[in-house]
Amino acid sequence: ADEVAHGLTGLREQLVPTAQAYSAKFVATSYEMTFASTKEFFGGLEALIGSPLMLNGSVLSSMDHEHLHSADSHSEFTSSNNITTTSAVEWEFVVTPESNKSYPQCG
C-alpha cells in the first residue's frame, strides 16, 4: 500500500512536468524523411503512379488478374518477414482460402 501511495504522489507531483517535456527526449533524436515536394504530396498517389486499371469495371477483377494471371504471378519472392511465397498463393490465402491446405504464412 505504501508503494502505491508513493507512486500516486509522484503522479500527482508530475515527475515529468508536461507532455511536451516528456516527449522532448524523443524529438531530440528524431528526423524527418522526405520523398518528394509538398506539391507532389498533395497531388496524390494517382498523380505519381496513375489511375488503377479497371478490368471489367472492377478493382477486384483487376486485383484478381494481377495476382493470378500476370507474368510474375507464380514467381517466388521472400517477404520482409522471411516467408517465401507467390502473388497467386497470397491471393488465394486472402480471397479463397482452402481449409485443408497448408499455406507458407501459417508455418
Condensed to tens digits (0 to 9), the pLDDT of residues 12-63 reads 766 556 667 667 766 666 667 777 788 888 888 888 888 888 888 899 999 9
Cα angle 38, 41, 46; round to 5: 150
If pLDDT is split at 50, 70 and 90, which confidence band does 80 have? confident
Mean pLDDT confidence for 69-73: 96
Neighbours of 89 (CB within 10 A): 19
Residue with cell 515527475: 15
Nearest CA-CA partner of 45 in 55, 54, 35, 60: 35
